């Protein structure tokens, strides 16, 4: 309601749109401080790379199979189907994997899997190979985003919504960049390069793995306060 009134007032005073939006942001999001912003950078970079990969596979995998790997119109969508199947499996298994191996190990394995699978897509000799590789990309990439968001939210439990809102910036940049860059490379026939570049970026995610955290066993966060849970 307040934001709508600010919009109306800004329009009445003929203020620039940027001013009205800045006022809305000021009332909706608490300040997080420079130090927290710095701590968010590793998570933001992980999300950026993940959504570059997601956008690239989602938007162009079918075209890649059709134009470069001689797949039929019936077969071309299978890479995206495999990617989504891998995503479902990865999201379903991530909690148990973290409990068993720890979040840092899971992130590192996922980053290596994504890098290898993207390299496999870039160098795929045939469409079946590319379909399997796309499934592996989905399997690895799918666990990185939720673990990233969960670790970032634990930096400031009392203002977790504001923290996650800041991270949306990196998601938007990743989606836009992935679609634009892969489209540009694809328009020049360089689809293999469009998957090789994200593969190199995925390797860099290994450096961010040490920033990931997980709750201590037996503890839960409730409205910014820590309380001990009963365990069976």
pLDDT digits (tens, 9 = 90+) for 73-90: 999 999 999 999 999 999
* Lowest-pLDDT range of 29-38, 68-77, 194-203: 29-38
List helix spans (H) across 123-228.
127-153, 160-187, 191-204
What does the domain layout of the chain look like in residue ranges?
51-213
End-to-end CA distance of the chain: 45
pTM flag (> 0.85): no
Angle 139-143-145 (CA atoms, 0-180°, nearest 5)? 125
Res. 119: pLDDT tops 50: yes
CATH topology for the 51-213 domain:
Growth Hormone; Chain: A; (1.20.1250)
pLDDT in tens, 49-60: 998 899 889 888
Q: Round to whole Å and give the CA distance between 6 and 8.
A: 5
What residues are paired with 222 via a beta bridge? 225
Secondary element (H or E) of residue 190: none
């Amino acid at each position: 309601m307040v934001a709508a009134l600010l919009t109306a007032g800004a329009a009445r005073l003929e203020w620039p749109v940027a001013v009205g939006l800045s006022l809305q942001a000021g009332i909706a999001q608490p300040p997080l401080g420079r130090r927290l912003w710095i701590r968010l950078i590793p998570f933001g970079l992980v999300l950026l790379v993940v959504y570059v990969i997601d956008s690239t596979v989602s938007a162009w995998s079918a075209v890649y199979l059709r134009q470069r790997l001689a797949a039929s119109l019936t077969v071309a969508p299978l890479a995206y189907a495999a990617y989504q199947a891998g995503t479902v499996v990865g999201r379903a298994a991530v909690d148990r994997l973290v409990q068993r191996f720890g979040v840092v190990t899971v992130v590192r394995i996922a980053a290596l899997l994504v890098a290898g699978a993207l390299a496999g897509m870039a160098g795929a000799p045939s469409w079946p190979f590319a379909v399997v590789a796309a499934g592996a990309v989905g399997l690895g990439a799918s666990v990185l985003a939720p673990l990233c968001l969960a670790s970032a939210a634990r930096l400031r439990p009392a203002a977790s919504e504001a923290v996650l809102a800041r991270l949306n910036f990196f998601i938007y940049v990743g989606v836009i960049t992935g679609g634009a860059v892969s489209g540009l490379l694809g328009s020049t026939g360089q689809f293999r390069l469009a998957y090789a570049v994200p593969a190199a970026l995925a390797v860099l995610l290994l450096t961010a793995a040490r920033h990931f955290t997980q709750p201590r066993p037996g503890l839960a966060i409730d409205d910014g306060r820590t309380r001990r849970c009963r365990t069976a």
